[in-house]
A and B are shown apart, each in its own frame.
Chain A
Amino acid sequence: MPDFLGYGAIQTLNALSFSALLLLNGLGLSVVLSLMNFVNLTHGSFYLLGSYVAIFWLGTGAPWWLAFPAAFLSAGLAGALLERFPFRQFYARPHLMQVLLTYGLSLIFADLMRWGFGAQILTPDLPGLLQGVVFVFDMPFPIFRLFLIGAGAVLGLALWLLLDRTLWGAVLRAAVSDRGIVETLGIDTRRVFMLVLVLSAGLGGLSGALGAGMLAAYPGLDEEVLLLALVTVVVGGLGSFGGTVAGALVVGFALTFSKVWFPEFANFTAFAALMLLLMLRPSGLVTPPLRRL
């Protein structure tokens, strides 16, 4: 019986750690998508850039924990530059135009990163502190994964507080609802949007730094990660913070337990379940009250 308990507990922790990664990754995408109504398919590139920055940072022997701010800042900087040109010119355009623009850019970034970082698979040298295990009912569970779960919870909470409980968050939400009115209050909405994009790209980079320990880094990972982020955001429901959290948990548990119960049909069962969910709730798990005009 303790065997069974331990097995269940570890698989639940596995699911939670994967959900944490999905959450970190999905949050960056959903912030821009739900708050700015901008489809940013370069998000996977920010993730991969963050992974590479963190791996090279950890390879230099500098204090390991600084790898995460370094990844956040470099991806954020890339986001800031892209916001100036060409994202800003596309906010008012239809989604299809945004998709074409950002997908094209993501292909260019993929080639640039392959050129700059090489095509080989890279993995980070994790500090000894994160390499240990804890025993749950006699079953080992990696500390690094507990670290992921913790990071996901802390960052998620911080972002929720920032967007939902601060004046800055209120300004942002107001600017999305009615940009003109906010402008008449003397607030430069262009700066607000710029900051949101920096935050989103930075979160992408940060999740890349955290995820590198689990997923490694190689050309093509950007697309895989983007797909997972899109699934997370769509299942959770566009336009709400709680939705992304719910989406990350549902997708994480679905993908993990489908592997536990139906290993040979893991992807089929997981995505069939998610499809069914979307058919029952077409706008996702959490739908915010409609406020679009």
Chain B
Amino acid sequence: MNLPRPQQRIEEHGHASGDSGGVRITRRRALAGLGTATLLPALAAPALAQPRPLRIGMITSLSGPFTALGESMRAGMRLAIAQADDRFAGRPVELIVEDDQARPDDGVRKARKLIGQDKVDLLCGVISSGVALALRDVVTEARMPTFLLGSANDLARKAASPFILRPTKTNWMLGSTAARWSHEKHPGTRVITAASDYAAGREFVGDFAQTYQGLGGQIGRQFWTPLGTADFGPLLTAIAAERPESIYVFFAGSDAVRFLRQWKEYRLAGRIRLMGTGACFDQEDVLPAVGDAALGAVNTFHQSPTAPASAALVAAYRATGKPLPGEFSTTGYVCGQVLRAAAERTGGDPAADWARTRKVLFDASVETAFGAMPFDPRNGQAILDIHVNEVRASEGGLVNTVVHTFPQLRDPGPDA
């Protein structure tokens, strides 16, 4: 849990000392050179021919509440690198993964270590928006090119930074589309909400309610439960007593699993229309653990295993012995795809001229497992297709099945 974990490297190379590109002379190499002077050119030649590795630092949660998500993110990133034969634009890729334990202070410490000690070329990662917001100032101060993956709306708004690109969703994209879908399908329905009481839950439900009311819909009672609720019985009994037609929910990880299982145990499944954010029905993290309890539920998400753009990833991910990919394995993979595009469009050195790297990414969209991904030049935020997924049964279990797509959603960004 709280033990420090060894950093993990995909490739080990001789220690290139920072930007100078020089090779540190080790005792062994010096002895070899002294002993057999004739061999020296042979030893030196491959070291010179080998381009300096592209060092990528990744901060994610490998312990604490988001352990499973962090492992998925790392697996997705590794898959993207492996598919490129461990080289982006001819440069060998060296991935250094650090654990933030989902705690902002740890995330900041690990970022400083990756920037100062490991001298990474690019930084990416994070699951928790709290960590993402804490990293924002650190990487901006250090002028560190960063691909930041939290989803708090502020990351695309007042916390946007010229050093940060965001190849993932914002919470607004999911909350507002769920409201639009609900209004389109069942206009006039009173919808109640239930969500985990922390920043993400407040944003999802806030954006849902605001959009829904803006469309003329009616929001009923709003329930909030602490993050990490052991027993949802009292909440579900209260929801049953409200007798609503529809409910919009946001829970994540173990909260989502408990909520959905108990949702069925208390016989609410099938009686109340269940809508939520995609994370509450995550393909990899939640659905395998809930049996058929989530059957028929609808969610809005930027990720779906049945979206055409993710077909190649689904096949490749399953070939590594994993289940259908969920949000964070896809996010890690997409981040790898964007990093690769950044390297390829800059001739292998995306960190050398960051303004140019931003420009080449803004100029043309990147083909990713989230679909074609243009970036909004105002805030570096990805513009994404948001899918409406219905949870349907198939031979392999429950599958998030795309029933509608809101194309190319752009966060209001600085205008919000």
Chain A residues proximal to chain B, CB less than 8 Å:
3, 7, 10-11, 14-15, 17-18, 107, 110-111, 114, 119-123, 125, 131, 133, 139-142, 144-145, 214-216, 218-221, 223-224, 228, 255-257, 259-260, 263-264, 266-267
Contacts and interface: CB of A to CB of B under 8 A. Distances in A.
Given A3-B241, A11-B234, A259-B234, A125 B291 contact: yes
A110 B290 CA distance: 23
Interface of B: 1-3, 63-65, 67-68, 71, 197, 223-226, 228-231, 233-235, 237-238, 240-241, 253-254, 257-258, 261-262, 265-267, 284-286, 288-291
A119 B258 contact: no
B237 A7 contact: yes
B231 A121 contact: no
Which of B2, B67, B197 has most A Cβ within 10 Å? B67
Contacts of A125: 291
Contact of B233 (A14, A216, A267): A14
Contact of B289 (A121, A139, A141, A219): A121
A59 to B, nearest CB: 12
A218 B235 contact: no
Given A133-B267, A218-B254, A263 B223 contact: yes
B231 A14 contact: yes
A276 to B, nearest CB: 19
A15 B231 CA distance: 9
Nearest to B238: A260
Which of A144, A219, A255, A256 has most B Cβ within 10 Å? A219
A121 B261 CA distance: 12
Contact of A139 (B3, B231, B240, B286): B240
A216 B234 contact: no
Contacts of A257: 234
A7 B64 CA distance: 36
A38 B38 CA distance: 69
B241 A215 contact: no
Contacts of B1: 107, 110-111, 219-220, 223
A133 B265 contact: yes
A144 to B, nearest CB: 7
Nearest to B284: A120
A164 B371 CA distance: 67
A256 B197 CA distance: 17
Contacts of A121: 68, 253-254, 257, 285-286, 289
